[in-house]
């Protein structure tokens, strides 16, 4: 067994798994902090208690998710040294800094204040407690920022110089202000809000349909959640659009592969579907919309887009003969899955939000009953998105500087990696079953009645 291939699989499995929880953490911390702010600031006394219970309700779901996110995150930090020691040697001078800064600025902040938030309900004033919720949200977002600074360097290296047999940092500011970070971070933040928004709608929808006692409260949650979700999806679309436009200059190979565009085109068409023949550098057949791809990239129906074959020839001239094409089939379809899921989620947000706001939810009962089926959509979109980001960088681990094949720890045997890969996969499978079981039972068994004493129209 090949240690390189198995290590790649292990990293893929553990990162994808880790990123099931990360976007939920990003989105749910903000949601919970917003709810707690409502609880602290609301002037309507009959809303005080339901608000507090909602904070605890979504807080508990957040905590279950957060614990899985944290423990799977430690695995990722250790991974760079365990499986990719040559990468760590070559990149350590640059890559280590954002990782250490992530620990110093973000991990301490979120973990410490999470402990206070969990156990400090009657030890702190409501305002200070609410402040802790916001500090957790800031910590989670700082964490995402720093790790995406590190990741952006792998996609688009800046602020470095090659000497002493490794990449050495010579401009920290350039590293942090890498334009790639702006796209990656905003996209990740909004996808987090989207993922959390879908979970909020699914949980609230289920309570609305199945729990009469909590119906009134969760109708409010459905309205607010739909707005939150819509903000997320629109943000994710906008940031994705902006980032793709930037990719035309920063990473043309990834861009062309997403579209399975083999030859230069002006104006470039958008392929709705294509049968990809990577071996012969072409599509066996495709359905195209003329000039749409140029329009998406340049905001006008003209403009040249480089094809895969052109970029491959350019890279061969620059880095020596070789195949610099990623898995075009995977990228092409991942992009369509991601965008398709995003579109579907936007429709859901509008439909649920409008019906809830107009008090018409009961007229379309099947909408809420089918809502739980949409839960996988954001996770599918997140995974597809990361496949584009990381798969699209192959065969490089750091574009233009180091190949994935050269990054592996030389002392590992295939057997060792196979053991750990099987171990992680099995453990992760058991944990997600346990966590889902606990979360579903919690949602089912927790009721939040509306406080009727003071009257509903107070």
Partner 1 sequence: MMDYQMIWFILITVLFTGFFFLEGFDYGVGMLAPFVSKREEDRGLILRTIGPVWDGNEVWMITAGGALFAAFPHVYATMFSTFYLALFLMLVALILRGVAFELRTKEKCPCWQKTWDAAIFIGSIVPAFLWGVAVTDLAAGLPISANMVYQGNFLDLLNLYSILGGLVFVLVFAYHGAAFLQLRLVDKGLLYRVQSLGKCAGECGAIAYVFYLLLTWENTDLLTRPAALGLFIATAVFFLASLYRFAKAPGKGSFILGALAVASVTIGFFTGMFPRLMVSSLNPDWSLTITNASSTEYTLSIMTVAALVLVPIVLVYQIWTYYIFRKRVTAGDVSHY
Question: Site residues for partner 1, window 42-61 (CB under 8 A)?
Answer: 56, 60
Confirm or reject binding of residue 104 to partner 1 (CB under 8 A): yes
Residue placing its CB nearer to partner 1 in the complex, 71 or 273: 71
Confirm or reject binding of residue 433 to partner 1 (CB under 8 A): no
Stretch that binds partner 1, among 45-53, 116-124, 216-224, 267-275 (CB under 8 A): 116-124
Are residues 116 and 124 in contact, defined by beta-carbon separation less than 8 angstroms?
Answer: yes
Q: Could you tell me which of 92, 90, 84 has the C-alpha nearest to residue 410?
A: 84
Confirm or reject binding of residue 62 to partner 1 (CB under 8 A): no
Q: Which of 5, 427, 436, 458 binds partner 1 (CB under 8 A)?
A: 427
H/E stretch holding 411: none
CB of 74 to partner 1, least distance (A): 6
What 3-state DSSP class applies to 265? strand
Structure tokens at 408: 């592996």
Confirm or reject binding of residue 134 to partner 1 (CB under 8 A): no
Residues 6+ apart with CB under 8 A from 348: 198, 201, 229, 371, 374
Confirm or reject binding of residue 12 to partner 1 (CB under 8 A): no
Residue placing its CB nearer to partner 1 in the complex, 162 or 347: 162
What 3-state DSSP class applies to 413? coil
H/E stretch holding 169: strand 166-169
Residue placing its CB nearer to partner 1 in the complex, 107 or 228: 107
Confirm or reject binding of residue 131 to partner 1 (CB under 8 A): no
Confirm or reject binding of residue 319 to partner 1 (CB under 8 A): no
Confirm or reject binding of residue 444 to partner 1 (CB under 8 A): no
Q: Which of 42, 88, 220, 425 binds partner 1 (CB under 8 A)?
A: 88
Long-range contacts of 79-85 (CB under 8 A, 24+ apart): 79/10, 79/11, 79/14, 82/409, 83/7, 83/10, 83/11, 83/408, 83/409, 83/412, 83/417, 84/7, 84/11, 84/397, 84/407, 84/408, 84/409, 85/408, 85/409, 85/410, 85/411
Q: Which residues pair with 283 in a beta bridge?
A: 276
Stretch that binds partner 1, among 22-30, 102-110, 241-249, 368-376 (CB under 8 A): 102-110
Alpha carbons 163 and 186: distance in angstroms, whole number: 33
Residue 281: which region, alpha, beta or left (left: phi > 0; alpha: psi -120 to 50)?
Answer: left
CB neighbourhood size of 2 (10 A): 11
**DSSP letter assigned to residue 301:** S
CB of 164 to partner 1, least distance (A): 8
Q: What proportions of the chain, in percent to the nearest 5, are helix, strand and coil?
A: 75, 5, 20
- How deeply is 456 buried, as exposed, middle or buried, from its count of CB atoms within 10 A (0-12, 13-18, 19+)? exposed
Stretch that binds partner 1, among 227-235, 287-295, 360-368, 436-444 (CB under 8 A): 436-444
CB of 210 to partner 1, least distance (A): 20
Q: Which of 17, 57, 58, 95 binds partner 1 (CB under 8 A)?
A: 95
CB of 1 to partner 1, least distance (A): 15
Task: Find the binding residues for partner 1 in span 331-360 (CB under 8 A).
Answer: none
Stretch that binds partner 1, among 190-198, 207-215, 318-326, 427-435 (CB under 8 A): 427-435
Task: Find the binding residues for partner 1 in span 150-209 (CB under 8 A).
Answer: 168-170, 172
Q: Which of 2, 5, 44, 78 binds partner 1 (CB under 8 A)?
A: 78
Are residues 86 and 59 in contact, defined by beta-carbon separation less than 8 angstroms?
Answer: no
Structure tokens at 264: 């230069």
Stretch that binds partner 1, among 62-70, 190-198, 221-229, 349-357 (CB under 8 A): 62-70
Q: Which of 12, 15, 86, 270 binds partner 1 (CB under 8 A)?
A: 86
Confirm or reject binding of residue 406 to partner 1 (CB under 8 A): no
Confirm or reject binding of residue 411 to partner 1 (CB under 8 A): yes
Residue placing its CB nearer to partner 1 in the complex, 364 or 437: 437
Q: Which of 40, 130, 196, 412 binds partner 1 (CB under 8 A)?
A: 412
Q: Could you tell me which of 439, 337, 437, 377 has the C-alpha nearest to residue 23?
A: 377
């Amino acid at each position: 067994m090949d240690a390189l291939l198995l290590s790649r699989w292990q990293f893929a499995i553990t990162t994808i798994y880790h990123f099931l929880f990360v976007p939920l953490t990003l989105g749910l911390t903000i949601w919970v902090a917003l709810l707690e702010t409502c609880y602290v600031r609301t002037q309507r006394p009959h809303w005080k208690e339901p608000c507090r219970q909602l904070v605890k309700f979504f807080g508990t779901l957040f905590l279950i998710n957060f614990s899985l996110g944290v423990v799977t995150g430690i695995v990722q930090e250790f991974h760079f040294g365990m499986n990719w020691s040559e990468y760590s040697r070559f990149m350590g001078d640059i890559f280590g800094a954002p990782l250490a800064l992530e620990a110093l600025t973000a991990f301490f902040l979120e973990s410490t204040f999470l402990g206070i938030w969990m156990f400090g309900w009657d030890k702190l004033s409501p305002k200070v407690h609410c402040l802790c919720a916001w500090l957790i949200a800031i910590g989670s977002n700082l964490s995402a920022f720093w790790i995406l600074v590190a990741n952006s360097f792998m996609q688009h290296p800046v602020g470095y110089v090659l000497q002493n047999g490794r990449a050495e940092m010579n401009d920290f500011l350039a590293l942090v202000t890498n334009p790639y970070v702006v796209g990656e971070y905003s996209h990740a933040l909004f996808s987090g809000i989207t993922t959390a928004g879908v979970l909020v709608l699914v949980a609230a929808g289920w309570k609305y349909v199945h729990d009469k006692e909590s119906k009134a409260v969760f109708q409010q949650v459905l309205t607010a959640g739909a707005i939150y979700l819509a903000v997320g999806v629109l943000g994710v679309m906008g940031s994705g659009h902006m980032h793709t436009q930037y990719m035309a200059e920063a990473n043309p190979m990834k861009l062309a592969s997403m579209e399975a565009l083999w030859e230069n085109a002006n104006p470039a068409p958008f392929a709705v579907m294509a049968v990809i023949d990577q071996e012969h550098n072409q599509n066996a057949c495709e359905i195209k919309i003329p000039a749409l791809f140029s329009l998406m990239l340049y905001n006008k129906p003209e403009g040249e887009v480089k094809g895969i074959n052109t970029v491959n020839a350019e890279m061969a001239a620059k880095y020596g003969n070789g195949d610099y094409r990623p898995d075009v089939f995977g990228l092409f379809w991942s992009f369509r899955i991601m965008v398709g899921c995003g579109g579907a989620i936007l429709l859901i947000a509008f439909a649920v939000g409008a019906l809830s706001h107009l008090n018409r939810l009961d007229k379309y009962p099947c909408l809420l009953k089918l809502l739980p089926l949409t839960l996988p959509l954001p996770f599918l979109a997140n995974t597809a998105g990361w496949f584009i980001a990381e798969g699209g960088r192959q065969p490089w681990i750091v574009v233009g500087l180091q190949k994935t094949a050269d990054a592996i720890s030389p002392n590992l045997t295939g057997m060792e990696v196979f053991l750990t890969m099987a171990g992680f996969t099995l453990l992760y499978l058991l944990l997600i079953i346990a966590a889902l079981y606990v979360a579903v039972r919690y949602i089912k068994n927790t009721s939040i009645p509306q406080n009727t004493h003071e009257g509903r129209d107070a």
